[in-house]
Amino acid sequence: MTTYLVTGASGHLGRLVLDHLATLVAPQDILALVRSDTAAEACAAKGIASRRADYDDPAALRTALEGVDRLLLISSSEVGQRAAQHGNVIDAARAAGVDFIAYTSILHADTGGMRLAEEHLATEAKLAESGIAFTLLRNGWYSDNITMTAAQDLETGQHFGAAGTGRFATAPRKDYAEAAAIVLAGGHDGEVLELAGDEAYTLADYAAILSDAAGKPVAYTDLPEETFRQALVEAGVPGGFAAVLADSDAKAAQGALFDDSRTLSALIGHPTEPIAETVKRALA
């Protein structure tokens, strides 16, 4: 029997991975790493057992990973602390004798030049040094991240960014989750997978799609990177993260978040969801 463990199992991506993984392997062979009773109960309702630990507790991680064969390491949401936290998981996996790790990195981590990629690259290097077999899931931008401001965009009639005419090859979180489950189940060990949506669009294209779907005018307002950063701070985004987001847009202008390999759709066996469909779901 192979035992599979998904970290970050109560998060947006983790929950979707569990759902799809349970269609590929027996639910009793799946473990979910959680941090709360509520999350554990939600997993139990799906017939999935859980273990308790967080990325900052090496001892708890070591205990939680005991007996695990294949591990999905979903990247931490704590930008600035990710490298250390991921390192704790990898060290615990090595101590526990885990055979394989799949890691959710970022699209073109080694060539895109994004600040957001720095901790992903550190994690990739840690994996390479660990002696554990691994696969890199270099996920592109989530369509859900673009549409999360749809209500605000419709209210103001503007979608703000700093990406110029850069093209985003996005896919919804559920498509990336499906890919992660497939890789964790087995068959793609040792690969570096550049994962992105089949269709690419500029933020001006996105504004037009949103406008058409809602029946209200929305225009894309392109800002210099620093101006966009300041606008994000004024909107309540913490300064450090605002700088990372503004840098991501600026690098997208140079092609960092574009990919036309269709590796994601080939992996999951169907086309990725177009941004127009994600917009419709966001507005429903």
pLDDT digits (tens, 9 = 90+) for 103-146: 999 999 999 999 999 999 999 999 999 999 999 999 999 999 99
Residue 177 belongs to some domain of the structure = yes
d(CA 215, CA 230): 30
Whether pLDDT at 235 is above 90: no
Residue 185 belongs to some domain of the structure = yes
Short-list 27, 47, 26, 193, CA closest to 109: 193
Q: Is residue 155 very low, low, confident or very high in pLDDT (cuts 50, 70, 90)?
A: very high
Residue 62 belongs to some domain of the structure = yes
Average pLDDT of span 185-202 = 98
Residue 50 belongs to some domain of the structure = yes
**3-state SS, residue 31:** strand
Residue 235 belongs to some domain of the structure = no
Count structural domains, the chain: 1
The range of the structural domain enclosing residue 80 comes to: 4-140+172-195+259-269
Whether pLDDT at 80 is above 90: no
Q: pTM for the full model?
A: 0.96
Residue 204 belongs to some domain of the structure = no
Q: What share of the chain is helix, strand, coil (3-state, %, to 5)?
A: 45, 15, 35
81: domain CATH number? 3.40.50.720
Average pLDDT of span 32-55 = 95
Mean of the per-residue pLDDT values of the chain = 96
- State residue 93's pLDDT score: 98
